[in-house]
Amino acid sequence: MSRLTFAALASALLSAPAAAQKVPARDLFEFPLGLLADAPALSTRMTASLWNPASRSADSTVRAEIGLAGLTTPQNQGVQLGMIGGEYRVRRDLSASLSFAQASVSDLIRTETDPQSIGGEIPYGTSLLSAGLAMTNRRLVRGARSLGIWSAGVAARYRWATVDNDHGGALSLDGGVIADSLLGTPLRGAASTFLFSPARSGEAATFMTAIDAPVYHRDSSLAVRLGYSLSATQSRGRDDYVFTSVDHRWFNATAGFDWSTAFGDRDRRLRLGISLRYASYDVAIGREEGAAGLGANYQFLVTRTIP
């Protein structure tokens, strides 16, 4: 997802273009929190459906799941993101989720006409509360033809934020679908929205779609998939992402290249993520190269399933 160069952020915050952002700090949720190297629309790695409300526990025998995710950037950016979430299987094919995510930038110094700082730091941060429902693993059939196993979900979100003396909040409503064995093929596809605001309350919505397919499969122990993802954010830019994943029993590794276009600038970044599963725990770490000469960001994630 596209990035801002935070080295120049302090002066931009109080400019006229920034004022057009009715709810500030939207850019902080352009970092891939809880994704590692997954495609946003397809990822089911982090519980509670932040990027696609159709995400759910992969196993219908799982009763509940809780998780923590975090992301940190180098000191010259000073961005920190964190998320806690959980989901509960209300019925065999219905899951409810709740999550809270927070993002902030530190060390934004207040200046006037020279580099000398005045007063305290400029506060810049945002929080997001989400609640969702997902109908999972519904097989759709038309005549004698299977259309795949589908999951669909919706999420209501409220985001509030602060930048200097400016405060704001907005309600959004998102939806998404995930399909396995799409149209009777080995393809898996997904589509979702993020921060879509029907009331046009100032949020810049992101629209995401992705598809992947197996390129190697050996019984149930080893699977290699290759895929493509597209994400586009209103008035900001788009990301094209090509990725591959390897899943081997208790181990998963994903890698990909992301090409982003934002405000006329183009960047290319490598994403890497690995996870280990043991008993009811899944622990993962990820790395994404920085844009505009900035250092890489690092992610961690831990989830626990409750049978």
Question: Structure pTM?
Answer: 0.87
Residue 237 in any domain: the answer is yes
Exposed/middle/buried for residue 144 (C-beta within 10 Å: 0-12, 13-18, 19+): exposed
pLDDT of 153 higher than 90 = yes
Higher pLDDT, 115 or 259: 259
Backbone angles phi, psi at 135, to 5 degrees: -90, 120
Identify which of 201, 248, 202, 243 has the alpha carbon closest to the alpha carbon of residue 221.
248
pLDDT score for 221: 83
Residue 25 in any domain: the answer is yes
Residues contacting residue 181 through CB under 8 Å, at least 6 positions apart: 146, 148, 149, 187, 188
pLDDT score for 183: 82
pLDDT score for 144: 63
Residue 109 in any domain: the answer is yes
And the tokens for 108? 């934004």
Query: Tens of pLDDT along 270-303?
Result: 999 999 999 899 999 999 998 766 789 999 999 9
CA-to-CA dists, residue 35 to 39, 65, 299, angstroms: 7, 17, 8
Query: Tens of pLDDT along 19-51?
Result: 345 788 999 999 999 999 999 999 989 998 899
pLDDT of 16 higher than 70 = no
- Please give the full DSSP string across 161-205, using - where no structure is assigned: EEETTEEEEEEEEEEEEEEESGGGSS-EEEEEEES--TT--S---
> What's the number of domains the chain is made of?
1
| Percent of residues, the chain, with pLDDT higher than 90 | 58
Higher pLDDT, 115 or 20: 115
- CB 51, CB 43: distance < 8 Å: yes
pLDDT of 192 higher than 60 = yes
Rounded mean pLDDT of 203-210?
Answer: 94
* Single-letter amino acid code for the residue at 292: A
Which long-range CB contacts under 8 A does 249-255 form with residues at least 24 apart?
A: 249/221, 249/222, 249/277, 250/276, 250/277, 250/278, 251/275, 251/276, 251/277, 252/277, 252/284, 254/36, 254/37, 254/38, 255/37
Residue 119 in any domain: the answer is yes
**Cα angle vertex 163, ends 9, 106, to 5°?**
60
Residue 1 in any domain: the answer is no
Q: Which residue has the tokens 């000398």?
A: 116
Higher pLDDT, 64 or 14: 64
Q: How confident is the model at residue 8 (pLDDT cuts 50, 70, 90)?
A: very low
Residue 215 in any domain: the answer is yes
Domain range for 274: 6-306
Cα 110 to the chain's mean position, in Å? Answer: 31
Q: Which residue has the tokens 């992101």?
A: 206
Rounded mean pLDDT of 105-134?
Answer: 77
**CATH number assigned to the domain comprising residue 119:** 2.40.160.40
Residue 191 in any domain: the answer is yes
pLDDT of 71 higher than 90 = yes
Q: Within a 13 Å sphere around the CA of 48, how many CA atoms are in the beta-carbon half?
A: 25
Range with lowest mean pLDDT among 62-76, 107-121, 151-165, 278-292: 107-121
Residue 52 in any domain: the answer is yes
